């Protein structure tokens, strides 16, 4: 279940999503575009994961954290 599919903030090529997993756990995803897809930071982490557009869509539609 997605708590908020629409971005909370969108500025400077960065979009922030707040998503809720089926278990009720909430995460904040900070997403920015890169050459091959998207860079994603979770909950203000300094660790970035690069994912494709398909992986981002799947993560937003079916969060499993």
The mean per-residue pLDDT over the stretch 22-27 comes to 89
Model-wide pTM > 0.85: no
Rounded to whole angstroms, the Cα distance separating 45 from 22 reads 22
Q: What is the per-residue pLDDT across 25-46, written as a single tens digit (0 to 9) for each?
A: 999 999 998 888 999 999 989 8
Whether 57 shows a pLDDT value over 60: the answer reads yes
Residue burial 11-50, b: 16+ Cβ < 10 Å; e: rest: eeeebebbbeeeeeeeeebbbeeeeeebebbeeeeeeeee
């Amino acid at each position: 279940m997605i708590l908020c599919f629409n971005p909370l903030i969108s500025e400077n090529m960065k979009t922030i999503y707040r998503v809720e997993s089926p278990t009720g756990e909430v995460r904040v995803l900070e997403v920015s575009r890169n050459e091959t897809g998207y860079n994603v930071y979770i909950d203000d982490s300094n660790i970035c994961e690069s994912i494709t557009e398909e992986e981002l869509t799947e993560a937003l539609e079916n969060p499993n954290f």
